[in-house]
């Protein structure tokens, strides 16, 4: 259920920050992971702000946009512990390298990275870096990073709620049932942040792109492994983040 007290709101945000980032936050045991997922986009705001601040400081010191963009991406990787990048690479390796459902799931649990995973990581970082470098100005980068990280993290509770787990154990299986109201609130927070940072056109285009991405990824993971896993959620976050950044780049450059 949604938080009913101010301390519950703080506890939910802290829980999401503790799980999705490496930021040093203390977590209360009164709230659970499923109920707290309305706050996933708030975590994205924190990550986006850090990336935007790094870009701003790099620009302040006279560094070119290409280097500032690389430093901003590196900072977001650091603050999240590359959690979602790991999910993307594992998903790419499993879907691309396994012949059976069981073998795909086995590959996805292997800590080693293969060709498909390496290629997915390269393109993910390259596309995000290119978009930030093209946006160039610190204010646009701030707005784009906040919008992209918030919207991409709102996609995760949506996917958790809509797609059954592929395993009986693991993060996705143990997350619990995400309440509908938490999904709606996460989506509403992301939509408001998109409107405030990128404007109406980008919000509409992002909603369309993320909706298409949701249906494609849902169909793909159900056919490949019979549902979603924590790695698939990471892949969804990465693809969603890229989609919003590219839309921002297309509109503002």
What averages of pLDDT result for each successive group of 10 residues across the chain (253 residues)? 78 93 84 90 97 98 98 98 96 93 93 94 98 97 98 96 86 74 96 97 98 97 95 97 98 94
pLDDT reported for residue 171: 64
Q: Is residue 224 part of a domain?
A: yes
pLDDT reported for residue 8: 83
Query: Considering its fold, how many domains does the chain have in total?
Result: 1
Beta bridge partners of 165: 228
Q: Is residue 1 part of a domain?
A: no
Q: Is residue 217 part of a domain?
A: yes
User: What angle, 0 to 180 degrees and rounded to 10, lies between the N-to-C axes of helices 83-97 and 101-108?
Assistant: 150
pLDDT reported for residue 26: 82
Domain of 235, in residue numbers:
6-252
Q: Is residue 27 part of a domain?
A: yes
**Residues contacting residue 15 through CB under 8 Å, at least 6 positions apart:** 27, 28, 31, 33, 36, 39
Question: Which residue, 14, 36, 72, 12, is CA-closest to 178?
Answer: 36
pTM over 0.75: yes
pLDDT reported for residue 173: 59
Q: Is residue 18 part of a domain?
A: yes
């Amino acid at each position: 259920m949604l938080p009913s007290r101010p301390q519950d709101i703080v506890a939910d945000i802290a829980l999401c920050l503790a799980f999705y980032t490496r930021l040093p936050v203390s977590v209360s045991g009164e709230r659970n992971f499923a109920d707290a997922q309305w706050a996933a986009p708030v975590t994205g705001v924190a990550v986006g702000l850090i990336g935007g601040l790094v870009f701003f400081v790099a620009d302040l010191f006279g560094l070119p946009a290409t280097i500032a963009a690389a430093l901003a991406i590196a900072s977001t990787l650091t603050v999240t512990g590359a959690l979602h990048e790991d999910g993307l690479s594992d998903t790419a390796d499993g879907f691309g390298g396994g012949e059976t459902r069981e073998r795909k799931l086995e590959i996805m649990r292997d800590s080693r990275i293969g060709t498909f995973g390496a290629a997915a990581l390269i393109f993910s970082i390259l596309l995000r870096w290119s978009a930030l470098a093209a946006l160039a100005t610190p204010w646009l980068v701030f707005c784009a990073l906040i919008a992209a990280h918030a919207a991409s993290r709102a996609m995760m509770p949506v996917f958790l709620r809509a797609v059954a787990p592929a395993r009986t154990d693991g993060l996705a299986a143990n997350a619990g049932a995400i309440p509908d109201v938490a999904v709606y609130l996460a989506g509403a927070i992301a939509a408001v942040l998109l409107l405030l940072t990128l404007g109406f056109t980008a919000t509409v285009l992002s909603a369309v792109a993320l909706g298409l991405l949701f249906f494609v990824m849902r169909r793909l993971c159900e056919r490949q492994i019979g549902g979603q896993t924590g790695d698939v959620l990471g892949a969804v976050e990465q693809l969603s983040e890229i989609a919003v950044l590219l839309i921002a780049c297309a509109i503002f450059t």
